Amino acid sequence: MTDSRTRRAKTKNRVELLSDSAPWEGREIDEFVFFIAVERGLSTAYQLSVRQTLDALMKWMQAGKRPLDDLGTDELSEFLTARKAEGLEASSLRICAVHLKIFFRWLAGKGRLPMDPAEPLHSPRPEKTLPETLHAVECARLLESIDTGEFLGSRDRAMLEFFYSSGLRLFELCGARLENLDLQEKFIRVTGKGNKTRIVPIGAVACEALFHYLAVERPALVKRRTSSHIFLSVRGGALSPDRVREIVKERAAKAGMEQNMYPHLLRHSFATHLLEGGADLRVIQELLGHADISTTQIYTHVDQQRLKSIHKSFHPRG
């Protein structure tokens, strides 16, 4: 316990020393990021996201010569409007608004500001857009174009077959481990959002591809410090989300697919094809790991759009 407190005190002192040379607003940002890291235990990725928002706010303030003490709700709304003009989508703007709310609530709670200017701030409404999907024929084209005889071909084929068969999120796929995989029973145990664990079945074709990769190619990628992650890089480490995105784009390009390809497209396609095949929406919700059925219901709209398109194309008066 003493060692833990000592390390924490040293880290805090280090942050405060770094902050001494920063502008007042910069010191506040440093302290707040330290607070959400240590007191709230939020992830490094979330800390970085918050800092990016607050750094952008500070630059905007400096450009307009606006002191932090004079910021009100109108000024924060202007900042979000400026971010929108820079090209930020509604979903990103909503995240920015959340960052502002928790930052200024913390400042007001510490007595650094007389009031919380972000409390009445309205978050931008999310745009209702339907997810993109691939046709089943396009999925087959992508997967079957991968030559398992070439270097890393077995890994990439197994990974994309697994992705499309299970509908995992990208971070779930990257974090998938051998001890949670059962190829005989054809399922994997994954930990998703909110640290919730679920069992996801894997199709026969994906299981065959995984078995081949694990038997033939993965052993050659293992290094002395390799962990139990299923999908490995050439250096023996777990594949990063960015590298998986690159692989999907590279494989799609080799397959001659011109549309914008990204990993989540396979997750969307997984859900849509299940729905088209008659799967119950509650089952799809469970497989995707959605906490709320309303999140899953967007795929019913995708299916309706498909039916309208077919009607328009083939009905004589469509």
Q: Which residues are catalytic?
A: 169, 193, 264, 267, 290, 299
Position of tokens 């608004």?
Answer: 97
Got the DSSP string for 178-208?
GGGEETTTTEEEEE-GGG-EEEEE--HHHHH
CA 231 – CA 272 distance, rounded (Å): 26
**What is the spatial distance between Cα 281 and Cα 300, in angstroms, rounded to a whole number?**
8
Give the residue from 292, 250, 253, 252 showing the smallest Cα distance to 269: 252
Distances (CA, A) of 101 to 104, 158, 219: 5, 43, 49
DSSP characters over 286-306: HHHT-SSHHHHTHHHHHHHHH
Closest C-alpha to 227, from 156, 159, 179, 191:
179
Q: Tell me the helices (H) and strands (E) count for the chain, helix number first.
A: 15, 3
Burial 236-254 (b: 16+ CB within 10 A, else e): bebbeeeebeebbeebbee
β-partners of residue 200 are: 188
194: left (phi over 0), alpha (psi -120 to 50) or beta: left
- Cβ atoms within 10 Å of 133's Cβ, excluding its own: 23
